[in-house]
Amino acid sequence: MTTHDHPSATLAGFAASLRTQDVPESVLRRAEDLYLDWLGSTLAGRSARAVQAIERYAQAMGPERIRDDGASEVLISRRTTSPHFAAMVNAAASHVVEQDDVHNGSVFHPGAVVFPAALATAQAIGASGREFLAAVVAGYEVGIRVGEFLGRSHYRVFHTTATAGTVAAAAATGRLLGLDSATMLNAFGSAGTQAAGLWEFLRDAADSKQLHCAHAASSGLASAYLARDGFTGARRILDGEQGMAAGMSSDADAARLVAGLGTRWALAETSFKFHASCRHTHPSADALLSLMRGHRVAADDIAEVKALVHQGAIDVLGRVVVPQTVHQAKFSMGTVLALVAEFGYAGLDEFDRHFLAPRVAAFRDRVAMQLDGEVDTAYPRQWIGKVQVRLRAGRVLEARVDEPKGDPGNTLSRPELEDKARRLAAYGEAATPEEMDCLIQSVWRLEREPRMGRVFSR
């Protein structure tokens, strides 16, 4: 791993030579978990206007339908096309409901860019499930490290999922195409020099986030295909004098690119999103759920909830008193706790259908936030959830969780992941329950799959 002459070459060499037998079993299983979670997120994005626009562009500019053998699948329309456009559209779909995975340290959503490129390539070349998994792990390990390398200063202006994501997609595709170390480095060079994505769109709530994922996945895939064909790129696109960090970061740390390669598995540090709300509400929601389950308390039993939070939660959530839109409701602590109390889950569907329901609104008004010293001190290293509940019967109960649901130390079980994926697919009206049964079973037997075929038979 350390025989290469600079960090980029070391990282490319790692990605090029990674085999599933080098990866711990637990990491491979987690990669399958993340794959199912990504499939659900992508299906949930099916009807979004921005996603549909990108699919129409792909239809207009790409091959309409190619033979099934070696064709890549657009999951939201089930048509086949070339890998470039399948990666583009699936990536556009995968981030739109914001339920896809996230790596906290790099502030990077690996699934949204790695899986679209890996799946499109694997289907096109008929790779095995094991080859697909190796490529996914390579993509995650590379992308997360590039994100960490680019640092906080990068994230202030650039959308790391878009920029680091281009290199991550190249790594995953490159691994599937069997690039050697030098060729993988060329793929990184072409990917890094196409890396783009600015936060400016947030000010206008514009559609760019979907374009960022689409661009990262398709440009990264293109970079790997071009490299296989002899197209060369800068060898130090990451840390060179006129490379990504030179242009787009002021606190880059090249040591992060190679830290723990082969021993630290960054993929396993990736969090699943559980509730469909602002992350600042999750610790309290989990604590309330734990309390209600542990004490067999129903929503109607509760007279008052105090969410004991860090200052950041008050800053972000304090402004929303009576939410007017679904989006605002996701930033209303009262609404989130009300949905959790009523339905056991604050998912996309619960928000869409119930955020203004009378019982939900009434519960919402019985919730207050209060700054808590312990919670505030631990943040952001640790996201502790604490609630204090006064029952109508008079008793006061307390509960806490030390890590929000979905983080590595409190991860989702396979039944929970299956449930989430089913809900997401139903939300997008993108697959029947029976189809989801098949899909879920196929993910759990991925490693034994001799040849990655279509996700949906039609």
Taking the complex as a whole, the smallest distance from the CB of residue 206 to a second copy amounts, in Å, to 4
Taking the complex as a whole, the smallest distance from the CB of residue 227 to a second copy amounts, in Å, to 9
Closer CB to a second copy, residue 206 or residue 371?
206
Closer CB to a second copy, residue 234 or residue 341?
234
Residue with structure tokens 């505030």? 376
Taking the complex as a whole, the smallest distance from the CB of residue 425 to a second copy amounts, in Å, to 25
Question: Please, are residues 245 and 149 in contact by the beta-carbon 8 Å criterion?
Answer: yes
Closer CB to a second copy, residue 182 or residue 397?
182
Taking the complex as a whole, the smallest distance from the CB of residue 5 to a second copy amounts, in Å, to 13
Closer CB to a second copy, residue 6 or residue 390?
6
Cα 93 off chain centre by? 12
Question: Please, are residues 83 and 73 in contact by the beta-carbon 8 Å criterion?
Answer: no
Q: What b/e string do you get for 78-91 counting C-beta neighbours within 10 Å, with b at 16 or more?
A: ebbbbbbbbbbbbb
CB count within 10 Å of CB 76 equals: 24
How many Å is the maximal CA-CA distance in the chain?
74
Closer CB to a second copy, residue 197 or residue 404?
197
Taking the complex as a whole, the smallest distance from the CB of residue 210 to a second copy amounts, in Å, to 8
Long-range contacts of 415-420 (CB under 8 A, 24+ apart): 416/274, 417/33, 417/36, 417/37, 417/272, 418/36, 420/37, 420/40, 420/99, 420/272, 420/274, 420/347
Strand, helix or coil at 111?
Answer: helix
Taking the complex as a whole, the smallest distance from the CB of residue 124 to a second copy amounts, in Å, to 9
Closer CB to a second copy, residue 35 or residue 85?
85
Enumerate binding residues for a second copy (CB under 8 A): 49-50, 53-54, 56-57, 60-64, 82-85, 156-158, 162, 186, 189-190, 192-204, 206-208, 211-212, 215, 219, 222, 225-226, 229-237, 240-244, 246-248
Closer CB to a second copy, residue 61 or residue 396?
61
Taking the complex as a whole, the smallest distance from the CB of residue 309 to a second copy amounts, in Å, to 28
Q: What is the dihedral of CA 170, 171, 176, 182, to 10 degrees?
A: 100
Q: How far apart are CA 221 and CA 225, in angstroms?
A: 6
Closer CB to a second copy, residue 142 or residue 245?
245
Taking the complex as a whole, the smallest distance from the CB of residue 45 to a second copy amounts, in Å, to 14
Nearest CA to 138 out of 219, 234, 22 is that of 22
Residues 6+ apart with CB under 8 A from 135: 118, 121, 122, 127, 171, 172, 173, 175, 176
